[in-house]
Amino acid sequence: MDRHLEWDACLNARDLGGLGLRQGGRTRWGSVVRSDNPAYLTGTGWRALEAYGVRTVIALRTGGTTDDEPDPADVPAGVAVERVVVEDLSDAGFVESCVDTGRWRSPLYFSTMLEHWPERCARAVSAVARSRPGGVVISCGRGCDRTGLVAFLLLSLVGVAPDEIAADWALSVERLRPRDPDNEVALQALLAREGTTILASIEQTMHTIDVRERLVAAGLSADDVAAVEHRLGGGPARNHRPPDDPACHDGPRPDRG
């Protein structure tokens, strides 16, 4: 089933539902959506987002730089926008490890973030865990990098396998071509220089770092972990249903049309 969402003027919005869980079942539809910056959305796009059951937009931000922000006049009254800083350009270690190397544009930077700034990762996951009932959008400028990091953390916590996480991440490359035609060439050059692939880099991170343990040590509470597991995992008996089944959703039934 197509996970891509046609929200007018956003190119890279897709549901994180339908991904296989190691313990059986699939991630819940309508729970978490990853997206490029909702500031791109037209009025029609915002109405589609709200109709899909989204009640919270988490805007993942980088300290020391600016992203376009949604116009409050465009945001439906039933949707809350929360900003969470996951990176900081004033942090010399982050700039040296992720920006100067170009790793920020690939899953290679997931391990760096977990090793050196796990508290930032934990805050982002906590924001999803504590969001109001209904769907949650995690977003950044391209819906690929900061959003890719937090999607990786969430999917790892609920037990999605590395190949499924990698396949989901790679979907952004194609979706972003119209807006960022040079991205794919730069990404392939980076991976070649590092001698790895999207899948291998994610497998390596998950092999060397216990994501749950690292996030909990950095401040993610047991309640937050349980909330993420319920929100996105939902249990193997429930999360196999297609998105048009209202039992899949904590919020209103979404309209995929």
Q: What is the pLDDT of residue 169?
A: 98
Residue 142 burial (C-beta neighbours within 10 Å; 0-12, 13-18, 19+): buried
Give the mean model confidence (pLDDT) for residues 91-112: 96
CA torsion 248→253→254→257, rounded to 10°?
120
Q: Is the pLDDT score of 143 beyond 90?
A: yes
Band of residue 20 on the pLDDT scale cut at 50, 70, 90: very high
Q: Domain coordinates of the chain in residue numbers?
A: 14-227
pTM higher than 0.75 for the full model? yes
Q: What is the pLDDT of residue 2?
A: 83
Q: pLDDT for 206-254, tens place per residue?
A: 999 999 999 999 999 999 999 999 999 974 333 334 444 433 334 433 3
Q: Which fold has domain 14-227?
A: Protein-Tyrosine Phosphatase; Chain A (3.90.190)
Closest of 133, 122, 115, 128 to residue 54, by C-alpha: 133
